[in-house]
């Protein structure tokens, strides 16, 4: 925008604007048409320049922000990849150990390690495992964690076990607090022989074993590694 100051006889000053007009040329059905756009004042031009500078600044900030976010995302992706690699390695080792233990246990079964009592067969595991793993292994052997139905069976199991000082898992749990059920058929236990105040320890002690020289039962954490006893209804 061009302008100059004019002096009048009364010493009054006026701004005389020399507008730079922009001509917009476009085609129409009648041919070329030239259209004059309104001229810009000095103040309008300054506002536009300021707005342009602000837009340049915003564009720069956005560019830096996007770059930072991209770097953060890439770092997170790399961390997750490393965690996945570690987890895969750990899970692979666990699977290998379980498979090795299963092979050993199956070899024991083939050697006739099942004991017979009143028409049922029982397997006393030489390996320790948490309760849920023990229950799964018994299923793999086409059996189940032992269901003890009377005191004579309980005494026989206790006296027949190989380790006299360690605990053995049996198939009793209370997944619903206070309802002690056998894992094989979810029936409520009618025979129970708790040691002292055990059997009502509350949350976190949901699986049952007998331990040491006692033929009594203890409820404890299912995560503990104990020996276990599998049972079959029919002997092979």
The tens digit of pLDDT for each residue in 125-162 reads 989 999 999 999 999 888 999 999 999 999 999 999 88
Residues 122 and 225 in one domain: yes
Nearest to 170 by CA among 128, 209, 204, 137: 209
Is the per-residue pLDDT at 7 higher than 50?
no
The last residue of a domain, from among 111, 143, 158: 111
Whether 97 maps to a domain, the answer reads: yes
Contact (Cβ atoms closer than 8 angstroms) between residue 229 and residue 123: yes
- CA 227 to each of CA 40, 60, 135: distance values in angstroms, whole numbers, following the listed order: 92, 67, 11
Whether 68 maps to a domain, the answer reads: yes
Residues 168 and 123 in one domain: yes
Residues 129 and 31 in one domain: no
pLDDT band at 86 (very low <50, low <70, confident <90, very high): confident
The domain tally of the chain equals 3
pLDDT band at 105 (very low <50, low <70, confident <90, very high): low
For tokens 């209804």, the residue is 233
Q: Give me the mean pLDDT over the 202-210 stretch.
A: 82
Higher-pLDDT residue of 58, 207: 207
Per-residue pLDDT at 36: 52
Q: ∠ at Cα 84 (83, 88), nearest 5°?
A: 120
DSSP state of 189: P
Residues 122 and 211 in one domain: yes
Residues 67 and 146 in one domain: no
Whether 85 maps to a domain, the answer reads: yes
Per-residue pLDDT at 18: 43
Nearest to 192 by CA among 233, 149, 136: 149
Q: Tokens standing for 216?
A: 């009594």
Whether 46 maps to a domain, the answer reads: no
Q: What is the extent of the structural domain holding 127?
A: 115-232
Whether 50 maps to a domain, the answer reads: no
Distance CA 51, CA 211 (A): 82
Distance CA 158, CA 217 (A): 11
Whether 226 maps to a domain, the answer reads: yes
Residues 104 and 125 in one domain: no
Per-residue pLDDT at 94: 84
Whether 45 maps to a domain, the answer reads: no
Q: Give me the mean pLDDT over the 65-88 stretch.
A: 86
Distance CA 50, CA 48 (A): 5
pLDDT band at 29 (very low <50, low <70, confident <90, very high): very low
Instruction: Please give the helix or strand (H or E) that residue 116 lies within, else none.
Output: strand 114-117
Residues 107 and 120 in one domain: no
Q: Three-state DSSP class for 29?
A: coil
Whether 159 maps to a domain, the answer reads: yes
Residues 136 and 228 in one domain: yes
- CA 47 to each of CA 3, 38, 40, 42: distance values in angstroms, whole numbers, following the listed order: 17, 16, 11, 9
Nearest to 138 by CA among 165, 170, 115, 176: 170
């Amino acid at each position: 925008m061009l302008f100059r100051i004019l002096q009048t006889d009364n010493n009054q000053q006026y701004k005389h604007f020399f507008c730079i007009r922009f001509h917009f040329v476009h085609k129409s059905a009648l041919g070329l048409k030239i259209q004059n756009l309104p001229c810009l004042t000095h103040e309008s031009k300054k506002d536009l320049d300021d707005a342009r500078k602000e837009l340049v600044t915003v564009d720069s900030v956005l560019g830096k922000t996007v770059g930072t976010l991209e770097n953060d995302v890439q770092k997170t992706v790399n961390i997750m990849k490393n965690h996945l690699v570690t987890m895969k390695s750990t899970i692979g080792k666990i699977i290998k150990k379980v498979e090795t233990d299963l092979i050993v246990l199956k070899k024991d079964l083939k050697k006739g390690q099942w004991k017979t009592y009143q028409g049922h067969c029982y397997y006393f595991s030489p390996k320790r495992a948490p309760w849920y793993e023990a229950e799964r292994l018994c299923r793999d052997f086409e059996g189940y964690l032992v269901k003890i139905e009377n005191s004579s069976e309980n005494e026989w199991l206790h006296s027949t076990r190989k380790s006299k000082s360690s605990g053995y898992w049996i198939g009793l749990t209370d997944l619903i607090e206070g309802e002690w059920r056998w894992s094989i058929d979810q029936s409520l236990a009618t025979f129970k022989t708790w040691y002292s105040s055990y059997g009502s320890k509350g949350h976190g002690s949901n699986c049952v074993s007998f331990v040491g020289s006692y033929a009594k039962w203890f409820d404890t954490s299912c995560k503990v590694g104990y020996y276990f006893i599998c049972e079959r209804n029919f002997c092979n």
